[in-house]
Amino acid sequence: MTVSVSAALLIIGDEILSGRTKDKNIGYIAEYLTAIGIDLREVRIIPDVEAEIVDTVNVLRRRYDYLFTTGGIGPTHDDITADSVAKALGVGIDIDPRAVALLQERYAAHELTEARLRMARIPAGAELIENPISRAPGFMIENVIVMAGVPSIMQVMLDQVVPKLRTGSVMVVETIEAHGVPEGIYGGGLAEIAKENPEVSIGSYPSFSSAGFRNQIVIRGKDPVAVATAREAVRALLNDLKTDQNPL
Amino acid sequence: MTVSVSAALLIIGDEILSGRTKDKNIGYIAEYLTAIGIDLREVRIIPDVEAEIVDTVNVLRRRYDYLFTTGGIGPTHDDITADSVAKALGVGIDIDPRAVALLQERYAAHELTEARLRMARIPAGAELIENPISRAPGFMIENVIVMAGVPSIMQVMLDQVVPKLRTGSVMVVETIEAHGVPEGIYGGGLAEIAKENPEVSIGSYPSFSSAGFRNQIVIRGKDPVAVATAREAVRALLNDLKTDQNPL
């Protein structure tokens, strides 16, 4: 029996939408969650606008087992994620003494400005996620996991929180190189195999570089036997086909 | 008077959500659209599932002036974007003679397999977007622009389609280096400036590398005078503040 645990990722930040900052978190989190048996099913990137954060948090936390967010938990006025999450969940938010204690490991009393204390605003009932790099914590409340946007800090927060999460069966993945057989030639047979093997998902992925096109067929599923069956069918298909000159 | 034209981007592909493929299109498209005066307001990444594509296309095309999609227009069974977009818009879809003519520039008659002819399936009423690299076209229908997922092909399609789009006022962006003044020190003053300058958006962006933290303040707006006013206020604020040892 396979178990499925689903998740969504919400990236909060004008700077990603303007192209000023290039996201480095999506690929990292996608790969990480896949490896531990949490299926990332949707990603959204939205601006630093409270109403949009509140609405999106509510849609995604209800639709998936977990919602991860990145961004918007620093000390400046545009860091509104914690307050928005509290509003979405209908809970209070205030400066949390546990978070203040963590900040005090880094800042002397006179350095704890009002701005820095924003980083200690934590929704009521949340569990803190420690941040060994710069101390200001993330948090988890219900099924919502709120992390920093700076990749190195997000990554240590993810390490901290993941042991607390339920995980499902790990996806079994088989990648088969098409070795010159074009998509347009194996496409028909691959569709048949996909139809005959509904327990797995089969994708065909062209990539293009200075060396030309390369196609890979990827079979994914939680039942190793079903994945192996589909893999053998794809290998047999490719062996039967001759290559031609058009690699797409 | 400033004119605003908004857009969303929908990335379609299981391979991005699993982490197998790292997205290279979001940052490129975000920067490109910003530079020409189209405001990217939301990005979503969803799997190759028809119902999800149909629903998401309908939400986003109604909410924004333009919806760009990438992925899912190749020749294999998992390429279901064109059919899903037709369904979302309630129009028919069939093999389009104009698209077949483009494919014939690349494929001999006997090479035009059923799978390759999938790439000529175009919703009724769509305008084709040419693809000088591998010929199979993208298309634009109403305000929905459907492009390939392979970055080099997506990029040439974007070049082809953009001259046909309405654009708004280009965002004026000023980036100010905090030069060692930490966010937690300038945060209070910056919040005041943000409140006094509602026509611009002001963000504070820490980044972290082996060289340590670096903070940048970014002011964005469509009115150059308003941006310049806020910029001078931020410069004055930073000059007034002394640096300390805690750069966050």
Closest CA–CA distance from residue B79 to any residue of chain A (Å): 9
CATH ID of A6-164, from 3.40.980.10, 1.10.645.10, 3.40.50.1820, 2.60.120.10: 3.40.980.10
Nearest CB neighbour to A246, from listed B78, B106, B201: B106
Which sequence spans correspond to the domains of chain B? 6-164, 172-240
Using pLDDT thresholds of 50, 70 and 90, give the confidence band for residue A48: very high
Three-state DSSP at B121 gives strand
pLDDT at residue number B124? 98
* Per-residue three-class SS string for chain A: CCCCCEEEEEEECHHHHCCCCCCCHHHHHHHHHHHHCCEEEEEEEECCCHHHHHHHHHHHHHHCCEEEEECCCCCCCCCCHHHHHHHHHCCCEEECHHHHHHHHCCCCHHHCCHHHHHCCEEECCCEEECCCCCCCCEEEECCEEEECCCHHHHHHHHHHHHHHCCCCCCCEEEEEECCCCCHHHHHHHHHHHHHHCCCCEEEEEEEEECCEEEEEEEEEECCHHHHHHHHHHHHHHHHHCCCCCCCC
A-chain CB neighbours of B133 within 8 Å are 208
Q: Is the pLDDT of residue B125 over 80?
A: yes
> Which chain A residue shows the shortest CA-CA distance from B107?
A246
- Read off the pLDDT of residues B140-168 as tens digits, 9 standing for 90 and up: 999 999 999 999 999 999 999 999 999 99
Per-residue pLDDT at B5 exceeds 80? yes
pLDDT tens readout for residues B60-81: 999 999 999 999 999 999 999 9
Tens-place pLDDT, residues A121-148: 999 999 999 999 989 999 999 999 999 9
**Mutation choice for B interface testing from A60, A174, A200, A205 by most B CBs within 10 A:** A205
Question: A246 pLDDT exceeds 60?
Answer: no
What is the CATH code for A172-240?
3.30.70.600
- pLDDT tens, residue by residue, A64-87: 999 999 999 999 999 999 999 999
Which residues in chain A have Cβ-Cβ distances shorter than 8 Å to B191? 76-77, 115
User: Does the beta-carbon distance from B136 to A186 stay under 8 Å?
Assistant: no
Interface test with chain A among B4, B11, B20, B193, by most A beta carbons within 10 Å = B20
Q: What is the pLDDT of residue B242?
A: 60
A interface test, pick of B6, B43, B134 with most A CB neighbours within 10 Å: B43
Position B248 scores a pLDDT of 52
Confidence band, pLDDT 50/70/90 cuts, at residue A211: confident
Q: Nearest C-alpha of chain A: how many angstroms from B187?
A: 5
Question: In this structure, which amino acid lies at residue B104?
Answer: Q
Q: Could you identify the residue written with the tokens 């057989």? A: A181
Which of B31, B134, B246 shows the shortest C-beta gap to A19?
B31
Which of B14, B76, B193 would you mutate first to test chain A, the one with the most A CBs within 10 A?
A: B76
Q: What pLDDT does residue A179 have?
A: 82
Encoded tokens for A197: 């093997």
The answer to whether the CB of A234 falls within 8 A of the CB of A218 is no
User: How far, in Å, CA of B45 to CA of B14, rounded?
Assistant: 9
Give chain A positions within 8 Å (CB) of B187. Answer: 75-77, 113-116, 118
Q: What is the pTM of this model?
A: 0.91
How far is residue A200's CA from residue B85's CA, in Å, rounded to a whole number? 24
- Per cent of chain B over pLDDT 90 is 84
Q: CA separation (Å) from B158 to B136, B149, B165?
A: 14, 12, 11
pLDDT tens-digit map of B20-35: 999 999 999 999 999 9
Interchain proximity A74–B42, CB inside 8 Å: no
Query: Which residue of chain B comes nearest to A30, CA vs CA?
Result: B19
For range A16-34, the mean pLDDT: 96
Q: Is the pLDDT score of A12 beyond 90?
A: yes
* pLDDT score for B245: 45
Reading the block at residue B223, the tokens are 């009115």
Mean of pLDDT values over A175-182: 88
What distance in Å separates residue A235's CA from the closest CA in chain B?
Answer: 16
* B191 closest CB neighbour out of A22, A77, A190: A77
> Residue A242 — pLDDT band, cuts 50, 70, 90?
low
- Return the H-helix or E-strand segment holding B244: none
Residues of A in Cβ contact (< 8 Å) with B39: 17
Residues B199, B221: Cα–Cα separation, whole Å: 7
